[in-house]
Amino acid sequence: MAEQSIKNKIILVAENDRAMLRVLVDRFAEERVSVLGVKNGEEGLKQSLGKHPDLILLDLKMPKMNGLTMLEKLRADKWGKDVPVIVLTNLSDTGTIAKVLKIGVYDFLIKTDWKLKDVVKKVKEKLERE
């Protein structure tokens, strides 16, 4: 039942670590979710605004455009202001967290605190509600 509600959904994973990106893309593909994988914020913004994914999984430390800048530009867009974003990062300083939460995200996850299966579960829960 849940699978039916998420199989036509699209998520964008913006992650600069190639191994982590591959693991995330492969894992979501196993869940029958369409996945767009990008390695930097510039490409993430372009793909987000062009493809309108149902959810964005966003790392903050990325080349060309960091995740915070991508999030700010996304939120300035008519469509992008409402798209659910889950931040998945190793940046855990309170200033960064406060800034990101003020801009608006569904959740803020520290990579070292979360197992892959739990990240997938969190994403699926949000997609099922959309």
Write a three-state SS string for the chain: CHHHHHCCCEEEEECCCHHHHHHHHHHHHHCCCEEEEECCHHHHHHHHHHHCCCEEEECCCCCCCCHHHHHHHHHCCCCCCCCCEEEEECCCCHHHHHHHHHHCCCEEEEHHHCCHHHHHHHHHHHHHHC
What pLDDT score was predicted for residue 92?
Answer: 75
What pLDDT score was predicted for residue 1?
Answer: 39
Domain holding 9: CATH number? 3.40.50.2300
pLDDT digits (tens, 9 = 90+) for 9-63: 899 999 999 999 999 999 988 888 889 999 999 999 999 999 999 999 999 988 8
Domain that holds residue 67: 2-129
Decide which of 13 and 92 is more confident.
13
Mean pLDDT value across the chain: 88
User: What pTM value is reported for the model?
Assistant: 0.90
How many structural domains compose the chain? 1
